[in-house]
Homo-oligomer: A and B are copies of this chain.
Amino acid sequence: MKIGLLGYGVVGVGVCEWVAQCPDMHVEKVFCRRPKAGIESITVYDAQEIINDPTIDTVVEVMGGLHPAYELVSAALKKGKNVITANKNLISAYYSDLIALAYENGAALRCTAACGGGIPWLVNLERCKRLDTVCEISGIMNGTTNFIMDAMHRSPVDFSEILKQAQELGYAEADPRADIDGDDIRRKLVISANVAFDTLLREEDVPMFGIRTVSAADIEAFRQHGFVCKLIASALRSGEKVSAYLEPTLVGSGDLEAAVPSNYNLITYTGEAIGPQSFFGQGAGRYPTAYNVVQDCLDVLRGQRDFYAAAAAPAEMDPTAVMHPYYVRTEKEDGWLSGHIADRWDCGVVTDAVSVSEMLTWAKQHRAVDPTCFIAGIR
């Protein structure tokens, strides 16, 4: 396998190191914008030198972002080159375009590292689908936010303080918004749900609520009631309809998700016959992400040609399918909320069972009134 590498950042360096251990593959050219030490002889500053090189059969895209990643990946597929990418933004946004291009051109398109980092999530989801029907997926799909929630449960510190610590450890970006507000997870959820259900969810169809307003007092209230709070993404199918959302979720302190430490991830699918199967490991980072990129290369080398899902039809979203109680903390009175209060905890209230879409719509609007409000679904 002769590889053209697009991008030589954190993941790209890891890809080169893993590939160096594989006798059947070789990085021929690396596209980057600035000279990088150690790869001078194979660096190109014009990505077309990779796209137009007929000796390169596989393009590995680890540059991130939508553009020019989309244009370059599309061009590579049109040339019949296999594409392996870790770019969740790209696959989430251009899912149907890219899998259609891959099929038309007989090229492989794989993106295992885009969901779950080093966890073999998408490949096992694909394997399950060969025999069983997946009815639900859910889990902890982001290491940054799990690190923060885990740390807040271990000692009662404020969100801003623990975020700073996560940034110092390299577990959170300088601009943490994509992680803590949910965009990163939403992309992984959209890709996972599309593979699981052969659908075409769009990011904007998936309501979400992040963790930036959670407080030490909230966590203490959850603990007193036997709960642990995790940021959990879920999608489920009932008949032809799909529900997908992500929100802080109170799970029982003895539940599997509650035991996920530090920056680890745990993702679960439920097959109609096989029941739940969960996958735990490092969901991000140089070596885990590069590991699944190179595993994808090995799968392609061994004849794996398809995308994870052959079909993809637009999904009818069912915003009322899932209902459960919520914990809500807000300083501002609200008529809708008052009508749903079933219990009171220290600093917040617990609602009766409310549809997820109704609550997440309300919470988004209510944030304009009370930017400090926090909600969490109760499982």
A residues sitting closer than 8 Å to B (CB atoms) are 18, 21-22, 118-120, 123-124, 127, 130-132, 254-256, 258-261, 266, 268, 273-282, 287-288, 291, 294-295, 298, 302-303
A280 near B278 with CB under 8 A, answer yes
A266 to chain B, nearest CB (A): 8
Least CB separation from A252: chain B residue: B259
Q: Enumerate chain B residues within 8 angstroms of A261, measured Cβ to Cβ.
A: 254
A367 to chain B, nearest CB (A): 32
A281 to chain B, nearest CB (A): 4
Q: Enumerate chain B residues within 8 angstroms of A119, measured Cβ to Cβ.
A: 277
Count of chain copies: 2
Compute how far the CA of A302 lies from the CA of B303 in the bound complex, rounded to whole angstroms: 9
B294 near A131 with CB under 8 A, answer yes
A275 near B280 with CB under 8 A, answer no
B287 near A273 with CB under 8 A, answer yes
Q: Enumerate chain B residues within 8 angstroms of A259, measured Cβ to Cβ.
A: 254-256, 258-259
A124 near B120 with CB under 8 A, answer yes
Please provide the 3 A-B residue pairs with the shortest distance between their CB atoms, ordered closest to farther. A278-B280, A277-B281, A259-B259
A274 near B287 with CB under 8 A, answer yes
A277 near B280 with CB under 8 A, answer yes
Q: Enumerate chain B residues within 8 angstroms of A302, measured Cβ to Cβ.
A: 303
A127 near B281 with CB under 8 A, answer no
Given contacts A258-B259, A280-B276, whether A291 and B131 have CB atoms under 8 Å apart is: yes
Compute how far the CA of A255 lies from the CA of B282 in the bound complex, rounded to whole angstroms: 16
Q: Enumerate chain B residues within 8 angstroms of A131, measured Cβ to Cβ.
A: 18, 21-22, 291, 294-295, 298
B282 near A275 with CB under 8 A, answer yes
A219 to chain B, nearest CB (A): 15
B291 near A281 with CB under 8 A, answer no
Given contacts A131-B298, A298-B131, whether A276 and B287 have CB atoms under 8 Å apart is: no
Least CB separation from A280: chain B residue: B278
Given contacts A22-B131, A130-B298, whether A279 and B282 have CB atoms under 8 Å apart is: no
Compute how far the CA of A274 lies from the CA of B277 in the bound complex, rounded to whole angstroms: 20
Compute how far the CA of A41 lies from the CA of B269 in the bound complex, rounded to whole angstroms: 38
